[in-house]
Structure 1
Amino acid sequence: MAKSKSEETPLMLQHKAIKDKYPDAVLLFRVGDFYETFNEDAVIASRVLGIVLTKRANGSASYVDLAGFPHHSLDTYLHKLVKAGHRVAVCDQLEDPKTVKGIVKRGVTEMVTPGVAVNDKLLENTSNNFLAAVHFGADITGVSFLDISTGEFIIAEGSTEYVDKLLQSFRPAEVVFARQQQKHFKATFGSRFYTYNLDEWIFTSTYAEEILLKHFQTHSLKGFGVDGMDTAIIAAGATLHYLKDTEHPNLQHITRLQRISQEDFLWMDRFTVRNLELLNSSVENGHTLLKVLDNTVTPMGARLLKRWLVFPLRDIAPINERLDTVAFFIKEAELSKTLTHHLKLTGDLERLVSKIPLRKINPREVMQLAHSLEQVQAVQELLSKSDNDYLLRLNEKLDPCAPILNKILNEVMENPPVLVNKGGVIREGVNAELDELRGIATKGKDFLLQIQQKESEATGIPSLKIAFNNVFGYYLEVTNTHKNKVPDTWIRKQTLANAERYITPELKEYEEKITGAEDKILTLETRLFDELLAALQPFIEPVQRNAQAFAQLDCLLCFAQNAVQYKYRRPVITDGYQLDIREGRHPVIEKGLPAGEAYVANDIQLNKDNQQIIILTGPNMSGKSALLRQTALITLMAHMGSFVPATSAEIGLTDKIFTRVGASDNLSGGESTFMVEMNETASIINTITSRSLVILDEIGRGTSTYDGISIAWSIVEYLHDMTTHRPKTLFATHYHELNELENKHERVKNFHITNMESGNKIIFLRKLAPGGSRHSFGIHVARMAGMPPELIERANEVLANLEEKHIDTSLQKNIKNIATPTQKLQLNIFDAHSDTFQQIRDKLGAVDINRLTPVEALLKLSEIKEMIN
């Protein structure tokens, strides 16, 4: 039987009304000193937080599930709920219960989701916490990224592939999109993100422009350089709407809208970011390029370095500016050391200043902000003496904000408490009334000591003491030994095992004076602190500029330190198309080597005239993949403006780096290893230019040997002859038959990783040498991996048997007879003049690959095979 409204308590009726407004959030409902959760929220809280689930009465003959925790533990439990993927609505008491008769007014003061977290426990110092919004237009997709904790607001638009790359690079904590686009979003970007959908009307040009103009208080968005970016602007509008919808109205720290243009940065698709292990390692706790390079000393520097890593520059002038500055810091070692010292003393300026409009900054953080501005002052003086153009321009952006710096230092205690309501925040001399009240409170406490001394002498009780508790205020405590000496005028308040507690009229009179003064002190200090925060508001933007300048300074000092510590050298960036790396090393593998072991360096030369493509062969585990990756990483680091792990590097300006390294099944998408491999390779081939660097590792290994060789062969020929571009290409393979390509194509060169055989063992020398290798040494690797001896022995027998039948020789002979195709604009898989092949073309044309399951694909292949037979 359903319970009626009359059966529910007033408290639960109030809870129900608020919960109805936030049905998809866990509602933390403040009741006295506790945050309570009820019904399904209580079940979730109990499971996630590990707190006790109980039941309580709710009117006549009904019960509700209940789970709660003390209000002072909010930060800890809020962190756990959000990290577990829950939206949380914090409902507070909006009135003082002491002044209200009946039910206390309550309301949601904050909605916390993964993408709008501002609590320090929910954030990582070295990472942004972006909320993203995606809007699919007719031909173009718009995206925005907003970090409410730093005020950064970025928009971009382009193909879904470009937006996919941005999503992987920014790694948002939460993505919002229109409810009707939910299936499209999942089909395009998968299930990698925490998502939330909004009403369709929010994603309109009119509404987006209205909400953005109102926020920035401008007449147009032209000043932000985002004209014509309609889909991106719609996404940005949805982002702001979501913030306001989640009870975040104070966003004055979001002061500008930035655009990211694909043409400004070296392009890497999401496969390349993954394959090069820039941000994440393929093994647990493995090294990444970010971990190796990140020796920054400020949180904003660490966040910017990550941005530079996934968005390397594509313009020679700014790249050389960074390289010049790194060289300057290496030369001026003492200046670098002093600057680094000042940066270390700086707090997280971006996040500190963002807490001001949110009213989340505490007195201790305000003082930290002041000390950080003192470091700005010191750095400004140092940089003003520099002769480096980049540093002088950076110095012009610095502003110590002297008025507010002095105001904080003059008004706030040197070591204030974290909470304003603890008192002791405002300095003496700031407010006359406050000083007077403090005098009353201090003198009152002194007078209490006089009362204690006077009563002790009058009664002859030497152990008499005055203390305080929240139940009956100040009291006199007498041990049982002396309780017979207590005068009749004292009023007994509490009996303990070894003592008794009393109050007197005189004690109560001074208690009222003291507590009255203390209450007024807290109220006044809170008001003065709020006035200070209001005075800080106009300085938000200059402090943000300081943070951005310090972040750039931190990254360049970090590059200089890395160059000295890891023996990196300055690369030369040219307008040409060549890549000439001498004694290059893999920065990540080198860092992980045991002490005393040196990395085997190698030279790589690629150009569009006579060595455009290198076919790289060699044994398993010999270092082919490391050589491929280090070439890409050195090119990437150079475009970041960093020195590189090589004795010298001449690098032609590169617009794109593509890698096809390793493979794994996309089971959720119904794609095999080979399909994933072909999709990624097709993406590369369709977008390369002459300035691209292409890294291919073991293409074609996901299918049969002959199919794999045919595909790999065709790809090399296509890259060499059948495009209008000549991308620099490194192609590592186990298909030694591809060595024959060197004889057929002038810009294809064979190289191999050297090794030495000693008895039954193979020693990897890891040195690059001209010419192709004829052996993979797979069985040797199997032995090293610990395969059973009898299995290895049998493998050698089978290998000898196969070699005796000249399978490899026969295949090689056939390949030598393959004629080089005449130049075409496009590869044709089937001969259009054959009726059978035309039927096959028609059958394949009718197949929707995106909806094809692996089993259906096998059946289709079987049908086609029958047609050929």
Structure 2
Amino acid sequence: MAKKQTTTPMMVQYNEIKAQYPDAFLFYRLGDFYELFNDDAIKGSQLLELTLTQRNKNSENPIPMAGVPHHAAQNYIDILVDKGYKVAVVEQMENPADAEGMVKREVVQLVTPGTRMKDTAEASKENNYLVGISTLSMQTGFGLAYADLSTGELKVTRVEAVNAVLNELSRLETKEIVTDATLPDDLTASLTNLGIMQSKQTELLNNAEISYLTQELTDKLEEQTTSILLSYLFTTQKRSLDHLKIAQPYEVAQFLKMDRNSRANLEITTNLRTQKRSGTLLWLLDNTKTAMGGRLLKQWLEQPLLDQSSLEQRYDKVGVFVDEYFTRTSLQEQLESVYDLERLAGRIAYGTANGRDLLQLRNSLRALPAIIAALEQLDTHIFGDFIKQIDPVPDLEQLITDAIDDDAPISVTEGGVIKNGFNAQLDQYRSVTTNGKQWLADLEASEREATGINSLKIGYNKVFGYYIEVTKANIDKLDPERYTRKQTLVNAERFITPELKEREQEILEAQTESSDLEYRLFVEVRDTIKSNIARLQRLAAAVSTLDVLLALATVAEDYHFVRPELTTDQVIDIKDGRHPVVEKVLGHQSYVANDVTMSQDDLILLITGPNMSGKSTYMRQLALTVVMAQIGSFVPATSAKLPIFDQIFTRIGAADDLISGNSTFMVEMAEANTALQNATKHSLILFDELGRGTATYDGMALAQAIIEYVHAHTQAKTLFSTHYHELTALAETLPHLRNIHVGANEENGELIFSHKILEGPADQSYGINVAKLAGLPDDLIDRATQILTGLEQQEVTVANESEPKLAEPATAYVPENVPDAELADDAEQQLDLFQIEADTVSQAVLEEVDNLNLASLTPLDAMLKINEWQKQLHA
């Protein structure tokens, strides 16, 4: 560890501040740079790729030092926060020229993963939630509050168990939590494994702002948790947070519940393989034109509704927009002129908005009258109340138009922000400055004429002010009584005259007064807008809702979606249903649509058929159709009748959790258990190939027991796909189970998938045919066919025996061009049920082929796997 140097007053100040923020990088302002010292400099230079230097390098203990320019500091802060660190920003609190002794410095903001206000294009449609977690006791569950500092959103709930906390954290994609106490060990371990920063706030602030923001909370735990969260925000941000909305309580049970595994498996907002948005339901539906609309759509997808009345109202509006093409496109064109009102309001309240931000607000407000006029042409019964929510805030639009210059710079302290004519005093100062510049030009011309020095010029710098510069060769032409030397250069001298000195003071005073007055005027305008933050936030909510509804209508028309019919009798009747994302990738003409029908009495659809035939796609498309229907979207089908589901549970694909020490099979069983323990009669369960992660008989026994348990106890609508064909016999004993399968035909040794769902069980697995489609070597496929033939023959002979009879082990693969007679003789000795001891490599490949879930592989993954097998077989 680097030794700390405390001998200089500056380092004493630095170390005192650093001691208050030991877990943060300290960006310490020195002039035009932010400097890092000691361990911060060493580690920061590595993370930020900075040059590591030394302060007091000639002393016994030089201080490691690294710095970044103040104008580029935000980029470096973002890098550190993205990597999971905190940054304390230390600013000079007084003008160094006026300071007596050390310049006073303070931390003006602590930037953390949960409090950063990211302003990049790629983050525009993403929220950044900071989450507070608290508990009164383990018996009372957990309070969970969350806020987005950039938008002012503030909500709180109570959840009962650790898993429920983790599900909410997953939904919110939080990067930082705040707590006042020690959390349970299992929750702490999970937070660590998920890479979520854990911050402490042990002191509860007692101020008017927190009392105001928590005024509607009646639950003691919810109030305490929200107070912890707000105390952390006020402590770290050290400024007004007037844009924070009054905390709104909610219940997880108000929305369609999906645990974090189900949400991931269905790829609602994040692609399971790439962790990106592309290839998800959000990617398909997001035709929004504003950043705030994009964020709202994501929120809808993460919290589908259970209230039929609210859903019907959304369907009504989407339906009108589907029918009214020209109105829809006109509205979307207007929305392209609307900036992010939520985050603009946040920056205004935060005190960081500049002139260009206010111009964006003005331009956004100017688009609203045309939006309102277009909506007024639509059905007033459907849109009447909605139109009333759109307040165009004309007084603010006029204020910005009058006050802010159309060419306002980014800086708000260097002039050029306030429009001419807005303030008489400012105009006078500007006149003095402008006339002064003309006076200087006239003076320069007259001085040249009077002295005969054509190269004479009048200039200005911040150190010496205005001056007359004359080359040394022409100095003898000047009147020494009138010209006073001010500065000596290598080839010239700079002078001042009484007239220039008098006008210099007048011009500089005007410039200084002008800049100061202009900044005060800008702050007054910004504060006036700030006092209307609540109006702007209500407007943002209405406009973002409009944006989402228009987007859903556009997608519905583009992809031929239909309005679903919501029922209360637990009947599913979807005609020509499609997986919307797969259909978008394949194209409408290539996708094979399928019905999904489950009567009131149908509880379980048992799905059989080969891998890669579409079983998983069929299951997922039902779940995605449900999610779409319960956010108010039209759905991919020619007609759809659906109940409202309260929960969706999935067990799809092979995945492990090695960090927690869980194998693929353990994860599979844990996810199955979550569904069985929590599902109700109004839930939807998707189970894909349960039981394959263990021995055949164990897996089959578990699969059957799970099916029977769902049938007898859970009674949720369930889709269960399996390769255990023996399970299809359960239809004879379980009256609410129905067999369906994916059609496939074998023609001339080639497997052809129809991707069509048919009634009844599949007649065979086609596993070897799928392996052939995957490109496995021909001799391996031939050998697998021989083994399968032997097993099928042996199955008859050993049907009444307690143990399967093992055949003689195969010795090796048969080389090419061997006579058929020899092949026949050899085949008789190759009946083998579970092992091929003489060729362990081939057997290992075959077992891997048999256990592989091809539906979970991407084409690239399959190619890599096949290449690996080929290397093993030819080694």
Normalised by the length of structure 1, the TM-score is 0.87
Per mean C-alpha deviation after superposition, the further-off stretch among 403-412 and 56-65 is: 56-65
For 1:146, the aligned partner's letter is A
Q: What displacement does 1:21 show?
A: 1.1
Q: Distance in 2 between matches of 1:3 and 1:691?
A: 64
Match of 1:256 among 223, 246, 253: 246
Aligned residue runs from structure 1 range 196-215, under 5 A: 196-198=198-200, 201-202=202-203, 214-215=209-210
Q: 1:697 aligned to 2:688?
A: yes
In structure 2, relative to structure 1, the CA distance for the partners of 1:682 and 1:598 (3 Å cut) is same
Q: Which residue of 1 aligns with 2:300?
A: 308
Aligned residue runs from structure 1 range 638-657, under 5 A: 638-657=629-648
Q: Distance in 2 between matches of 1:33 and 1:662?
A: 54
Q: What displacement does 1:603 show?
A: 0.6
Q: Distance in 2 between matches of 1:390 and 1:249?
A: 42
Match of 1:686, SS state, is helix
Q: Distance in 1 between matches of 2:61 and 2:83?
A: 31
Q: 1:686 aligned to 2:677?
A: yes
Q: What displacement does 1:615 show?
A: 0.9
Q: 1:371 aligned to 2:363?
A: yes
Structure 2 gaps, min length 5: 804-875
Q: What displacement does 1:90 show?
A: 0.4
> Which digits, 9 at most, give the CA deviation of each residue in 1:285-321, with x for residues without a partner?
5511111111111111111101100111111111110
In structure 2, relative to structure 1, the CA distance for the partners of 1:146 and 1:4 (3 Å cut) is closer
Q: Which residue of 2 aligns with 1:74?
A: 73
For 1:795, the aligned partner's letter is A
Q: 1:711 aligned to 2:713?
A: no
Q: What displacement does 1:503 show?
A: 3.1
Q: Which residue of 1 aligns with 2:151?
A: 150
For 1:233, the aligned partner's letter is E
Match of 1:774, SS state, is coil
Aligned residue runs from structure 1 range 546-561, under 5 A: 546-561=539-554
Q: Distance in 2 between matches of 1:808 and 1:487?
A: 127
Q: Which residue of 1 aligns with 2:343?
A: 351
Q: Which residue of 1 aligns with 2:194?
A: 192
Q: Which residue of 1 aligns with 2:528?
A: 535
Q: Distance in 2 between matches of 1:389 and 1:264?
A: 27
In structure 2, relative to structure 1, the CA distance for the partners of 1:803 and 1:781 (3 Å cut) is same
In structure 2, relative to structure 1, the CA distance for the partners of 1:705 and 1:483 (3 Å cut) is farther
Q: Which residue of 1 aligns with 2:259?
A: 269
For 2:774, the aligned partner's letter is A
> Which digits, 9 at most, give the CA deviation of each residue in 1:152-211, with x for residues without a partner?
001111222333222111111311223422624224556214222325x55xxxx58x56
Match of 1:730, SS state, is strand
Q: Distance in 1 between matches of 2:502 and 2:696?
A: 97
In structure 2, relative to structure 1, the CA distance for the partners of 1:75 and 1:735 (3 Å cut) is same
In structure 2, relative to structure 1, the CA distance for the partners of 1:812 and 1:316 (3 Å cut) is farther
In structure 2, relative to structure 1, the CA distance for the partners of 1:102 and 1:713 (3 Å cut) is same
CA contact (8 A) 1:216 1:255 kept: no
> Which digits, 9 at most, give the CA deviation of each residue in 1:77-107, with x for residues without a partner?
1111111111100000001011123211111
CA contact (8 A) 1:377 1:400 kept: yes
Aligned residue runs from structure 1 range 311-390, under 5 A: 311-390=303-382
In structure 2, relative to structure 1, the CA distance for the partners of 1:420 and 1:782 (3 Å cut) is same
Q: Distance in 2 between matches of 1:275 and 1:812?
A: 42
Match of 1:740 among 729, 734, 737: 729
Match of 1:99, SS state, is coil
CA contact (8 A) 1:8 1:58 kept: no
Q: Which residue of 2 aligns with 1:44?
A: 43
Normalised by the length of structure 2, the TM-score is 0.86
CA contact (8 A) 1:607 1:728 kept: no
Q: What displacement does 1:426 show?
A: 1.3
> Which digits, 9 at most, give the CA deviation of each residue in 1:774-821, with x for residues without a partner?
33222233333333333333323322222221179949999xxxxxxx
Q: Distance in 2 between matches of 1:807 and 1:461?
A: 118
Match of 1:421, SS state, is coil
Q: Which residue of 2 aligns with 1:444?
A: 436
Per mean C-alpha deviation after superposition, the further-off stretch among 789-798 and 669-678 is: 789-798
Q: Distance in 2 between matches of 1:760 and 1:463?
A: 96
Q: What displacement does 1:562 show?
A: 0.4
CA contact (8 A) 1:659 1:696 kept: yes
> Which digits, 9 at most, give the CA deviation of each residue in 1:212-246, with x for residues without a partner?
x652438x83xx3x42x333322211101111221
CA contact (8 A) 2:114 2:175 kept: yes
Per mean C-alpha deviation after superposition, the further-off stretch among 160-169 and 292-301 is: 160-169
Q: Distance in 1 between matches of 2:94 and 2:110?
A: 20
Aligned residue runs from structure 1 range 838-853, under 5 A: none
CA contact (8 A) 1:600 1:766 kept: yes
> Which digits, 9 at most, give the CA deviation of each residue in 1:456-500, with x for residues without a partner?
33344445544433343344556799788677647474546xx64
In structure 2, relative to structure 1, the CA distance for the partners of 1:808 and 1:74 (3 Å cut) is farther
CA contact (8 A) 1:362 1:420 kept: yes
> Which digits, 9 at most, give the CA deviation of each residue in 1:522-575, with x for residues without a partner?
111111111222222320101100001111111100000001111111111112
Q: 1:757 aligned to 2:759?
A: no
Match of 1:162 among 161, 164, 167: 164
CA contact (8 A) 1:585 1:601 kept: yes
Q: Distance in 2 between matches of 1:177 and 1:807?
A: 65
For 1:526, the aligned partner's letter is Y
Q: What is the aligned length?
A: 795
For 2:104, the aligned partner's letter is K
Q: What displacement does 1:400 show?
A: 2.1
Q: 1:292 aligned to 2:284?
A: yes
Per mean C-alpha deviation after superposition, the further-off stretch among 688-697 and 615-624 is: 688-697
Q: 1:280 aligned to 2:280?
A: no
Q: 1:454 aligned to 2:446?
A: yes
For 1:22, the aligned partner's letter is Y
Q: What displacement does 1:746 show?
A: 2.2
In structure 2, relative to structure 1, the CA distance for the partners of 1:613 and 1:388 (3 Å cut) is farther
Q: Which residue of 1 aligns with 2:111?
A: 112
CA contact (8 A) 1:182 1:197 kept: no
Q: Which residue of 1 aligns with 2:618?
A: 627
Q: What displacement does 1:717 show?
A: 1.6
For 2:107, the aligned partner's letter is V
Q: 1:512 aligned to 2:505?
A: yes
Match of 1:798 among 764, 787, 792: 787
CA contact (8 A) 1:585 1:630 kept: yes
Match of 1:581, SS state, is strand
Q: Distance in 2 between matches of 1:812 and 1:416?
A: 90
Q: Distance in 1 between matches of 2:615 and 2:144?
A: 38
Q: What displacement does 1:45 show?
A: 1.6
CA contact (8 A) 1:411 1:427 kept: yes
Match of 1:447, SS state, is helix
CA contact (8 A) 1:328 1:388 kept: no
CA contact (8 A) 2:569 2:600 kept: no
CA contact (8 A) 1:576 1:653 kept: no
Match of 2:652 among 654, 661, 675: 661
Q: Distance in 2 between matches of 1:85 and 1:808?
A: 64
CA contact (8 A) 1:176 1:197 kept: yes
In structure 2, relative to structure 1, the CA distance for the partners of 1:215 and 1:377 (3 Å cut) is farther
Q: What displacement does 1:592 show?
A: 1.5
Q: Which residue of 1 aligns with 2:775?
A: 786
Q: Distance in 2 between matches of 1:539 and 1:338?
A: 28
CA RMSD of aligned residues (A): 2.7
Per mean C-alpha deviation after superposition, the further-off stretch among 232-241 and 458-467 is: 458-467
Q: Distance in 1 between matches of 2:177 and 2:316?
A: 39
Q: What displacement does 1:585 show?
A: 0.8
Q: Distance in 1 between matches of 2:479 and 2:328?
A: 74
Q: Which residue of 1 aligns with 2:831?
A: none
CA contact (8 A) 1:492 1:500 kept: no
